Amino acid sequence: MSDEIQDRLNQLQEGHIREQHMAEMELSSELDMTEQSADELEAARERVALAQEDLRLLEKDNTEKETKRKRTLLQLNMPGSGIPSEVIPNMPCPCGSGKAYKDCHGSINR
């Protein structure tokens, strides 16, 4: 009877060891997934930072273009300033009206 008890005890211990091993494997898998998620989150944060920098550069570039456009418009509207060298009569007017310069700010009948 002692052998039966010892066999049963060994079976219970083996079962417990198997369950413990399975639990450790599950925890290890969850840890790997958590680390992978953390890496993906960090990569996403880096992409957002790069996109924000690109946006800042585009906004700066657009501001510089707008400043140049306003400066050109001021030159066009100043009496006696003449036509800036970069404006050709048949090109679109820098004011953005969609008309040719000669039919808009370049017309004699302003």
Give the model confidence (pLDDT) of 21-52 as tens digits: 888 888 888 888 888 888 888 888 888 988 88
Q: What is the pLDDT of residue 17?
A: 86
Residue 109 pLDDT exceeds 60: no
Give the closest residue to 87 by CA, choosing from 99, 61, 38, 60: 99
In the chain, the number of structural domains is 2
Same domain, 58 and 109: no
Look at residue 88 and give its three-state secondary structure. coil
CA atoms within 13 A on the CB side of 108: 0
**Other C-beta atoms lying within 10 Å of the C-beta of residue 76:** 19
Query: Using 50, 70 and 90 to split pLDDT, how confident is the model at 102?
Result: confident
Higher pLDDT, 4 or 94: 4
Question: ∠7-12-16 over CA atoms, to 5°?
Answer: 145
Structure tokens at 38: 């953390």
pTM score, two decimals? 0.38
Same domain, 53 and 93: no
Q: What is the pLDDT of residue 78?
A: 58
Placement of tokens 């211990």 in the chain: 13
Start-to-end CA distance of the chain, whole Å, equals: 118
Q: What is the pLDDT of residue 104?
A: 82
Higher pLDDT, 108 or 21: 21
Distances (CA, A) of 45 to 22, 52, 56: 35, 10, 16
Backbone angles phi, psi at 92, to 5 degrees: -60, 145
Q: Which domain holds residue 6?
A: 2-77
Query: Using 50, 70 and 90 to split pLDDT, how confident is the model at 77?
Result: low
Same domain, 27 and 70: yes
Q: What is the pLDDT of residue 55?
A: 87
